[in-house]
C-alpha cells in the first residue's frame, strides 16, 4: 500500500505522524508493563500477565491500523458519492462555467464529504499555487485513496491537454463514471450474498454449541445456567460481528432525506416510538399480573406494540419509493419544457401541474404554489424534496436548481439527471430484491434455531423428571444426577427466549442494513421474527411433551 496516499488522507506528513502518535504510543507501551511491575507486582499472576502483555500489543496495533482504516473510510466515502459528483459536474458544465469556478462550487458542497475536500485541493493548487490544471489533477490522482476518482482525474487532465471542450468531456464522462458506479454497486450486492451465506452458516454452527451447552451438564456436572449463558453470549457476539462486517460491505445509499425540515411523516415516526414503548410497558404489566401465558408467548406479546413504529416507518418508506419512481419522468419533462421556454421554470411547471405524475402530483402542485410567491426558490425546492422524504430527490433537485440558476441548459440538465437517477434507481431495485430473498432465509432459519433449542430443552426436562423419580446407587456412572435434578427449566426457557429475541433483533437489523431503509423499520421484522421464535418454541414444547412423557 502506498504510504504517500495514506498520509495524504491523514492530512499530515509521515514525520509528523511518527512524532505525534507513534513515538508517544511506543513510549507508553514500554512504560505500562514497567510501571505495573514496579507499583503492583502482586497482580502478576495467571490471566493478568496475559492482559498486561496484550495492552502494549493493542497500542502498537492502533497506530498501525488507524491510518489504514482512515484510508479505507475515505475511499468508501469518495466511491459512494462519485455518481452524484459527476452528475453535479455535468449539470454545472452546461452553463459554460469555467473549470476552476466549477471545482470551487463543488468543493463547497458538504454532502460530498472527503470528495469535496479533494476537489478543494485541486482548486487550491490551480488558484493559489498557479499549478497548471492537468498537473494539479494528476498530483491529486496520485494521492487520492479512490481508484475511481483517480482514473477520472487522469482522464480529465488528458482531455484538457488534448484541447477537448470541458462540457463535452463532462457529458461523455456521465456514461463512463455511471458504468463504474453500476459495477461497484453490483460487486457490493454480490458481497451481500456472501454475507447472507456467512450469517446462515455461522448461525447453524452456533446452534450446536448452544444445544451442547444445554445437554453437556448431564455428563460434565458443570452448572447448566453458567454454561448456557456462556454459549448464548458467544452466539450473540458472533452475530453482532457479522452484522458489523455486513455494514462495511453494503453500499451506503441513503433512502431518507437529510434536510432540516420536519414533515408530517417525520413527526409521525418520531412520536410513534415513545407510544410503542409505553404500550410495551402496559402490555408487559398486564401479561405478568393477569395472565398465565407460556414464557415464549409472553415475550412475543410484550414486544408486539413495537410493530406500530415499524409499520408507520414502512408505510412512509414505501411512499418514498413511489415518489422516486416518478421523479425521473418529472425532471426530464420539466427540463424539456423549460428548454422550449428559454429556461423559465415557473411557466414550464405551470404547464406540468395538469399532468399525472402519480403520487408526486400533489408535491408538484405545492412546489408550483411556493415558487409562484417568488420568495425563496432554493427553499421551495427543499420543501418539495422534504415532502417526498427522498434523499435522491433532495440531491438531484438541488442540482437542477443550481444548474438552472447559473444559466445551464434545462433540456440537457433534465436528461443528465433523469438518466443517472434511473440508473441509481435500477441498482436500488436489485438491492431490494436481495433484501427480499434474505428475509425468507432469516425467517426460516429463525424457526429452525428455535425448534432445535427447545427440542434440546425438552429432552433435558424429560431426563430431569425421569431421574428425579429413580434411586440410583452412589457410584460414578458418568452422569451427573444432581445437575439434572437441579436444572432450572423455567429459567433456561427464559434464557433461550432472550437469545431468540437478540437473534431476531440482529436479523432485523441485518435486513435494514441490506435494504438501506429507516432504522425504525427494523421493528417490523423484529416483531415478526420474535413471534416466529415464540410460536415455534411453544409448538416444539407442546408437541414433544406427550412424546417424552412430560
* Domain edges within the chain: 3-164, 321-424
Confidence label for 532 from pLDDT (cuts 50, 70 and 90): very high
Helix runs in 94-163, H state only: 99-107, 114-127, 133-141, 147-162
CA 212 to mean position of chain CA atoms: 34
Confidence band, pLDDT 50/70/90 cuts, at residue 468 = low
Q: What is the band of 549 on the pLDDT scale with cuts at 50, 70, 90?
A: low
Q: Answer whether residue 478 shows pLDDT above 60.
A: no
d(CA 6, CA 21): 15
Q: Are 313 and 267 in contact (CB under 8 A)?
A: no
194-238 pLDDT, tens digit each? 888 888 888 888 888 888 888 777 766 667 788 888 889 999 999
* pLDDT, mean over the chain: 86
Specify which residues 390 forms β-bridges with: 256
- Give yes or no for a contact between 120 and 143, defined as CB atoms under 8 angstroms apart: no
pLDDT tens, residue by residue, 236-258: 999 999 998 888 888 888 888 88
Q: List C-alpha distances in Å: 103 to 9, 60, 232.
A: 20, 40, 54
The predicted model gives 409-429 an average pLDDT of 91
Mean pLDDT across 105-131: 92
Average pLDDT value for residue range 345-366: 87
Instruction: Residue 286: count other Cβ atoms within 10 Å of its Cβ.
Output: 12
pLDDT of residue 485: 45
- Backbone phi and psi for residue 504, each to the nearest 5 degrees, phi listed first: -65, -40
Q: What pLDDT is recorded for position 470?
A: 58
| pLDDT of amino acid 160 | 92
Residue 420's contacts (CB-CB under 8 Å, 6 or more residues apart) are 83, 86, 87, 174, 178, 396
Which range is least confidently modeled, 214-228, 379-393, 426-440?
Answer: 214-228
Residue 256 backbone phi and psi in degrees, to 5 = -90, 150
**pLDDT digits over 298-347, tens only?**
999 999 999 999 999 999 999 999 999 999 899 999 888 888 877 778 88
Answer yes or no: is pLDDT of 502 > 80. Answer: yes
- Yes or no: say if 28 and 59 are a contact pair by the CB < 8 Å rule: yes
Other beta carbons less than 10 A from residue 467's beta carbon:
19
Half-sphere exposure of 88 (CA within 13 A, CB side): 27
Of the listed ranges 89-103, 160-174, 257-271, 436-450, the least confidently predicted one is 257-271
Angstrom distance (rounded) from CA 140 to CA 153: 8
The C-alpha R_g of the chain, in whole angstroms, comes to 30
DSSP string, 358-416: GGGHHHHHHHHHHHHTTS-HHHHHHHHHHHHTBHHHHHHHHHHHHHHHTT--HHHHHHH
Measured from the Cβ of residue 10, the count of other Cβ atoms closer than 10 Å reads 17
Cα(489)–Cα(491) distance, integer angstroms: 5
Determine the angle formed by the axes of helices 489-515 and 224-249, rounding to 10 degrees. Answer: 0
Separation of alpha carbons 109 and 117, rounded Å? 9
Rounded to whole angstroms, what are the CA distances from 328 to 289, 320, 333, 384? 55, 13, 9, 15
Q: How confident is the model at residue 43 (pLDDT cuts 50, 70, 90)?
A: confident
Name the more confident of 517 and 140.
140
pLDDT the model gives residue 486: 43
Out of 38-52, 53-67, 156-170, 279-293, which region has the weakest mean confidence (pLDDT)?
Answer: 38-52
Q: Is 513 exposed, middle or buried (0-12, 13-18, 19+ CB in 10 A)?
A: buried
Amino acid at each position: 500500500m502506498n504510504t504517500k496516499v495514506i498520509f495524504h488522507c491523514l492530512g499530515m506528513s509521515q514525520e509528523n505522524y511518527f512524532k505525534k502518535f507513534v513515538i508517544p504510543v511506543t513510549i507508553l507501551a514500554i512504560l505500562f508493563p514497567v510501571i505495573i511491575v514496579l507499583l503492583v507486582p502482586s497482580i502478576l499472576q495467571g490471566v493478568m500477565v496475559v492482559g498486561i502483555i496484550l495492552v502494549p500489543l493493542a497500542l502498537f496495533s492502533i497506530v498501525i491500523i488507524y491510518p489504514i482504516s482512515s484510508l479505507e473510510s475515505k475511499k468508501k466515502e469518495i466511491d459512494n458519492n462519485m455518481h452524484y459528483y459527476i452528475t453535479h459536474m455535468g449539470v454545472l458544465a452546461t452553463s459554460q462555467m469555467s473549470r476552476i469556478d466549477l471545482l470551487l462550487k463543488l468543493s463547497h458542497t458538504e454532502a460530498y464529504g472527503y470528495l469535496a475536500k479533494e476537489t478543494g485541493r485541486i482548486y487550491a493548487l490551480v488558484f493559489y499555487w498557479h499549478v497548471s490544471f492537468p498537473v494539479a489533477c494528476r498530483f491529486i490522482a496520485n494521492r487520492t485513496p479512490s481508484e475511481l476518482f483517480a482514473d477520472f482525474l487522469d482522464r480529465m487532465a488528458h482531455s484538457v491537454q488534448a484541447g477537448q471542450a470541458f462540457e463535452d468531456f463532462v457529458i461523455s464522462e456521465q456514461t463512463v463514471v455511471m458504468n463504474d458506479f453500476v459495477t461497484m454497486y453490483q460487486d457490493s450486492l454480490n458481497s451481500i450474498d456472501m454475507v447472507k451465506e456467512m450469517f446462515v452458516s455461522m448461525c447453524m454452527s452456533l446452534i450446536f454449541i448452544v444445544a451442547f451447552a444445554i445437554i453437556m451438564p448431564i455428563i460434565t456436572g458443570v452448572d447448566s445456567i453458567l454454561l448456557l449463558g456462556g454459549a448464548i453470549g458467544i452466539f450473540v457476539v458472533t452475530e453482532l460481528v457479522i452484522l458489523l462486517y455486513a455494514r462495511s460491505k453494503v453500499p451506503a445509499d441513503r433512502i431518507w432525506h437529510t434536510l432540516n425540515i420536519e414533515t408530517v411523516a417525520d413527526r409521525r415516526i418520531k412520536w410513534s416510538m415513545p407510544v410503542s414503548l409505553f404500550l410495551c410497558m402496559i402490555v408487559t404489566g398486564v401479561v405478568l399480573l393477569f395472565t398465565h401465558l407460556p414464557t415464549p408467548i409472553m415475550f412475543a406479546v410484550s414486544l408486539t406494540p413495537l410493530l406500530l413504529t415499524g409499520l408507520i416507518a414502512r408505510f412512509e418508506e414505501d411512499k418514498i419509493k413511489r415518489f422516486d419512481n416518478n421523479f425521473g419522468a418529472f425532471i426530464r419533462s420539466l427540463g424539456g419544457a423549460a428548454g422550449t421556454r428559454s429556461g423559465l421554470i415557473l411557466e414550464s411547471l405551470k404547464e406540468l401541474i395538469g399532468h399525472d405524475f402519480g403520487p408526486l402530483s400533489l408535491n408538484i402542485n405545492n412546489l408550483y404554489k411556493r415558487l409562484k410567491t417568488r420568495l425563496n426558490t432554493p427553499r421551495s425546492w427543499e420543501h418539495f424534496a422534504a415532502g417526498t422524504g427522498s434523499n435522491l430527490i433532495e440531491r438531484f433537485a438541488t442540482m437542477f436548481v443550481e444548474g438552472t440558476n447559473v444559466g445551464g441548459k434545462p433540456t440537457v440538465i433534465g436528461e443528465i439527471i433523469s438518466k443517472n437517477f434511473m440508473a441509481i434507481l435500477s441498482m436500488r431495485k436489485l438491492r431490494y430484491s436481495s433484501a427480499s430473498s434474505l428475509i425468507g432465509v432469516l425467517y426460516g432459519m429463525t424457526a429452525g434455531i428455535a425448534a432445535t433449542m427447545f427440542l434440546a430443552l425438552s429432552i433435558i426436562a424429560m431426563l430431569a423428571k425421569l431421574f428425579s423419580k429413580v434411586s440410583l446407587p452412589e457410584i460414578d456412572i458418568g452422569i451427573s444426577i444432581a445437575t439434572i435434578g437441579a436444572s432450572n427449566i423455567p429459567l433456561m426457557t427464559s434464557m433461550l427466549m432472550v437469545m431468540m429475541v437478540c437473534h431476531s433483533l440482529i436479523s432485523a437489523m441485518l435486513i435494514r442494513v441490506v435494504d438501506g431503509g429507516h432504522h425504525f423499520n427494523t421493528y417490523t421484522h423484529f416483531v415478526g421474527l420474535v413471534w416466529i421464535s415464540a410460536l415455534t418454541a411453544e409448538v416444539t414444547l407442546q408437541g414433544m411433551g406427550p412424546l417424552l412423557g412430560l
